[in-house]
Amino acid sequence: MSDPAANDLAKRIEDLEHQRELLLSELSSKATASLEPRSELSNLLTQLQSSDKAVRSKAVEGLVALKDPLSFPSLVNFLVSHPDEATSGDNPFITRWFLVLIETGGPKGAEFVVSQIEGSNPGWSEAAFSTVQYALDTPELIDGAMPSLESAALRHSSTAARTKCKLLIQILSAKKKEYVERQKEREERERYMAELNADRQAEGKNQIPSDFIIVSALKGNGLDSLARDMIRGGGDLKFWKSGLLIAEEFASSFEHRDGCMRAIEQILKTADTIARPSRALLLFLLSGMKSEGGDAKAATLYLAEAKELSSATVDFLSQNRNSFGVQGKVD
C-alpha cells in the first residue's frame, strides 16, 4: 500500500516541474524579442542538457561568453560530469574554464578551482595552481579560496599538494595585504582631493580676504620683513604658502621664533573658513614649531587637531617631512 504523504509530495514535484517547463517555454519565447543578452540564459541552460553534443558545445560557448552568475552551478556540473567533452573540440581549455568559473562564480568559483589542485588529474592540478596564483586578485576571491587551501595544506595525503597549497597561502596573503594597502592609499588620496577641491571653494568665500589676514598676522608679530617680501612677490597670498614661508623664517631666525608661532596661531584663529588641507598644514607646522621650542604638550595637541581635520594631509606631510619640517638651521 502506497504512502499518501509520499504520493502527495510526488504530485507536488510533478506540478512544479510542469510549471517550470511552462515558465522556461514562456521565457524562451520572449527571449527572441529582447535585446538583453541575459534573456538567452534559459535557452542556453536548456541546451546544455541536450543529447546532441554539438548543441551542448554551442551552449557552453554562449554561457562562457555570458558569464552569468546563475549559470555557475550548471557550468560546474557540466565540467565535472563531462570532463573530456568540456575541454575538447571547440570548447575552452581547462585553464580558460577555471578563469570563467572564477569570473562567473566569484568566491565560490575560486573555491572550486582550489579543489582541483588536489585532484588526480595532473594537467588540471597544474592549471588550477597557476590560475589561483595569478587570477585571484581581490580580497573577496582570496577569502573564498583560503578555507579550502588551508584544509588541503594541513590534511591532504600528497606532500606535493600540501606544498603547493602552503605556497599559495603565502602568495595570496601577501597579495591581499598589498591590495588592501593600495586601496587604502587610493581612498585617502581621493578623500584628500575631495577635501581640497571642496575647501578651495570655501576658501574663496572668506569674508576677510586671505591677504589681509596673513599680512596682519605677520606685521602684528614682528615679521614685517617677511610681510614686505611676500607682498612684493605679487599675486594673492595663500594660507598654505604663507605657512611654509613662516616655517622657513622660524628655522632660520631664532629671534623670530615666537613671532612665527604667534603669527600662525593668529591666522588659524582669524580665518574661520580656511581650507581644511591648508589648516591641517598650518597645524602640522605649528606642532613642529612647538616641539622644537620644547613645548611637547602643545605640539601633541596641535598634531592631534591636524589629524582629526585631515588625516590624509597629515600622513602625506609626515611621509615628506624633509620638505615640510621646521627643524632649526641655526645654533
User: CB under 8 Å to 44, separation ≥6 — which residues?
Assistant: 59, 62, 63, 66, 71
Identify the pLDDT of residue 327.
Answer: 56
Residue 271 predicted with pLDDT over 90: no
Q: pLDDT for 172-197, tens place per residue?
A: 999 999 988 888 888 877 876 776 66
Average pLDDT score over residue span 67-85 = 91
Q: Kindly state whether residues 62 and 159 are assigned to the same domain.
A: yes
Residues 24 and 170 in one domain: yes
Q: Is residue 154 part of a domain?
A: yes
Same domain, 116 and 259: no
Evaluate whether residue 197 is within a structural domain.
no
| Mean pLDDT, range 218-240, rounded to an integer | 85
Cell numbers for 272 = 574661520
Q: How many domains does the chain have?
A: 2
- Angle at which helices 107-115 and 72-81 pack, to 10 degrees? 10
Is 2 within a domain? no
Residue 32 pLDDT: 53
Segment 149-161 mean pLDDT: 88
Asked whether the predicted pLDDT for residue 66 surpasses 70, the reply is yes
* 99 and 29 housed in the same domain: yes
48 and 144 part of one domain: yes
Residues 237 and 91 in one domain: no
Contacts of residues 109-113 at CB distance under 8 Å and 24 or more positions apart, as own/partner, are 109/72, 109/144, 110/136, 110/141, 110/142, 110/144, 110/145, 111/144, 111/145, 111/147, 111/148, 112/76, 113/145
All three cell numbers of 73: 552551478
Query: Which residues 6+ apart lie within 8 Å of 27 measured at CB?
Result: 39, 42
Q: Which domain covers residue 257, as residue numbers?
A: 204-324
Q: Are residues 157 and 257 in the same domain?
A: no
- Residue 56 sits at the vertex; the CA angle it makes with 134 and 49, to the nearest 5 degrees, is 105
Number of Cβ atoms within 10 Å of the Cβ of 111 = 20
pLDDT, tens digit (0-9, with 9 covering 90-100), for 206-217: 467 778 888 999
- With 90 as the cut, is the pLDDT of residue 30 above it? no
Residues 158, 212, single domain; the answer is no
136 and 210 in one domain?
A: no
Of 121, 154, 183, the last residue of a domain is 183
The pLDDT, as a whole number, for residue 209 is 76
86 lies in the same domain as 214: no
Q: What was the pLDDT predicted at 21?
A: 66
Question: Percent of the chain, pLDDT > 90?
Answer: 36
Is the model's pLDDT at 89 over the cut of 80? yes
Q: What was the pLDDT predicted at 146? A: 93
pLDDT value for 35: 57
Q: If pLDDT is split at 50, 70 and 90, which confidence band does 147 have?
A: very high
- State the pLDDT at residue 135: 92
CA dist 163 and 260 (Å) reads 63
Query: pLDDT digits over 102-145, tens only?
Result: 999 999 999 999 999 877 788 898 899 999 999 998 999 999 99
Among 134, 153, 183, where does a domain finish?
A: 183
Residue 162 covered by a domain: yes
The predicted-structure confidence for 276-312, as pLDDT tens digits, reads as follows 888 889 999 999 999 988 899 999 999 999 988 888 8
Model pLDDT, residue 207 = 63
Question: Is pLDDT above 90 for 261?
Answer: yes
Residue that terminates a domain, selected from 183, 215, 233: 183
* ∠ CA 317-178-193, rounded to 5°: 40
Provide the pLDDT for residue 330: 34
Residue 99 confidence class, pLDDT cut points 50, 70, 90: very high
